[in-house]
Structure 1
Amino acid sequence: MIRRTWAAAITASLFLAGSVNAEDGFVSLFDGKTLSGWEMKASPKNRDSSKWEVKDGAIVGSGNASMLYSPKGGYKNFVFRAEISINDKGNSGLYFRTPADPNGDFSKGYESQINATHGDPIKTGSLYTMVHLDKAAHAPDEFYTQEVEVQDVMYRGKPVTRIRTRVNGKLLYEYQDYNPAWKEGHFGFQQHDPGSVVKIRKIEVKELPSQIK
């Protein structure tokens, strides 16, 4: 079930195209071996107790709250996707249009929720505080693909930021943000709490043209 906030304009148009093929203009943001191009951001109290590392070809986040942040940016119109696994009762988030150089445990910007079975009722693919899904379309501890397509477009004569979210290639919803707080920015992933372990691999982005002239 999708819960709508007052600001939401959602079109569940399932006939829309699925994920773009990897050979069609995507750029990798993870080399599969190191954290090159990524930085951990955390409050002073959590810097020594939160951990991001690469194991078996995947980035693994564990420990206390922090962000894994990419200083590359800022991205404005794009398709951003990653293969992700979250443990049972774990919680994380995929951030986009995040402001430069966040200095706390959780960044500002849009957050696409990563949550299969955590106690938070807002599940995977939800656009936090904007569009809430009650059920995840994947099981815990299995890799799945999460994708956000973000583009500034004209909608009914007004400029909006259009956000389409897909899990495993299936469109979950389309959201129109009429008053976007974040115009462009960076990408990041959230380490939520000591009980959460998130794994991320095959991180890719494809830049899109603005449809607003």
Structure 2
Amino acid sequence: MNILRFSANQCCALILLCFFGCFGVGSAAAQTQAEKDEGWISLFDGKTLNGWRVNENPETFSVKDGAIVVNGNVSHLFYEGDVNNHDFKNFELKIDVMTFPNSNSGIYFHTDFQEKGFPGVGHEVQVNLTHTDWKKSGSLYNVVNVDKAPAVDNQWYTQHIIVKGKTVRILINGQLLYEYVEPNLKKDAERGQFISHGTFALQGHDPGSKAMFKNIRVKVLPN
């Protein structure tokens, strides 16, 4: 499969064809000893939200059967644990995800804790397979938008985010969706919706959306 590269003039709505034919629907495995040996570090203990901080509507997040369950009013759960002092620049992040019909969520990177609302800092990688929002799982929201669902509801799949320098690569179940290279952007502030550094966050989108996350692991890459 060819690697798609996107830069300054290619950041609008994109059509990626034949997802099911190319990707299939796999099951997501737990972190293996090989991954640990390769430098992967778990950010979620599977039992509690220790190391994570929720902002508004904390009831939106709970832990059940080894997974973070997201279901409720708008809320965001930020990683504030000890790994790399919860400040990541170059990294790989793998999260096993399950969505349900009409659910919408997201995974943020290079973000900061904020008391309420949708994060104004960092990028969101979309989690959505059947919600009415046409931007589907794997989209770098409003930057590189994927309009074909790369997995199916009610099954675990692995969402893999790689950031190195100004390059973002997104994989679903081990298959590369695209590679995005951030152009030289005019920046009015040090932090915003662009590649910089920061922590991760999970999104609670609305009461009708339910998603689950487990096996959250990161590999810190050299700067």
Provide the residue aligned with 1:94 in structure 2.
107
Structure number with the higher helix fraction is 2
Looking at structure 2, the residues matched to 71 and 7 of structure 1 have their Cα atoms a distance apart, in angstroms, of: 34
Asked whether the 8 Å contact 2:136–2:146 carries over to 1, the reply is yes
Looking at structure 2, the residues matched to 184 and 7 of structure 1 have their Cα atoms a distance apart, in angstroms, of: 23
Provide the residue aligned with 1:173 in structure 2.
178
Q: How many residues of Structure 1 are paired with residues of Structure 2 in the alignment? A: 187
> Which digits, 9 at most, give the CA deviation of each residue in 1:28-66, with x for residues without a partner?
000011111111112xxxx26x42110011000111110
Structure 1 moving runs of 4+ over 6 Å: none
Provide the residue aligned with 1:137 in structure 2.
150
The verdict on how the C-alpha distance between 1:103 and 1:182 changes in structure 2, with shifts beyond 3 A counting, is farther
Percent identity of the aligned residues? 40
Looking at structure 2, the residues matched to 122 and 6 of structure 1 have their Cα atoms a distance apart, in angstroms, of: 19
Q: Aligned AA for 1:53?
A: S
Two-structure CA RMSD over aligned residues (Å): 2.4
Q: Map of 1:108-119 to 2, 5 A cutoff? A: 108=120, 109-119=122-132
Q: Aligned AA for 1:147?
A: H
Asked whether the 8 Å contact 2:182–2:195 carries over to 1, the reply is no
Provide the residue aligned with 1:17 in structure 2.
none
Looking at structure 2, the residues matched to 92 and 81 of structure 1 have their Cα atoms a distance apart, in angstroms, of: 16
Provide the residue aligned with 2:135 in structure 1.
122
Q: Map of 1:9-88 to 2, 5 A cutoff? A: 22-23=35-36, 24-42=38-56, 47=57, 50-72=59-81, 73-88=86-101
Asked whether the 8 Å contact 1:80–1:205 carries over to 2, the reply is yes
What is the DSSP-based 3-state SS (H/G/I as helix, E as strand, rest coil) of the residue aligned with 1:194?
coil
Provide the residue aligned with 1:156 in structure 2.
none
Asked whether the 8 Å contact 1:97–1:183 carries over to 2, the reply is yes
Asked whether the 8 Å contact 1:61–1:199 carries over to 2, the reply is yes
Provide the residue aligned with 1:150 in structure 2.
163
Provide the residue aligned with 2:116 in structure 1.
104
Instruction: Name the TM-score, length of structure 1 as normaliser.
Output: 0.81
Gaps of 5+ in 1: 15-19, 153-160
Looking at structure 1, the residues matched to 55 and 154 of structure 2 have their Cα atoms a distance apart, in angstroms, of: 25
What is the DSSP-based 3-state SS (H/G/I as helix, E as strand, rest coil) of the residue aligned with 1:22?
helix
1:7: how far off? 5.5
Matched, 1:193 2:196: no
Matched, 1:204 2:207: no
Q: Aligned AA for 1:149?
A: I
Structure number with the higher strand fraction is 1
Looking at structure 1, the residues matched to 65 and 213 of structure 2 have their Cα atoms a distance apart, in angstroms, of: 11
1:143: how far off? 0.8
Looking at structure 2, the residues matched to 166 and 95 of structure 1 have their Cα atoms a distance apart, in angstroms, of: 15
The verdict on how the C-alpha distance between 1:102 and 1:118 changes in structure 2, with shifts beyond 3 A counting, is same
Asked whether the 8 Å contact 1:82–1:147 carries over to 2, the reply is yes
> Which digits, 9 at most, give the CA deviation of each residue in 1:70-103, with x for residues without a partner?
124210000011001111100000100012x212
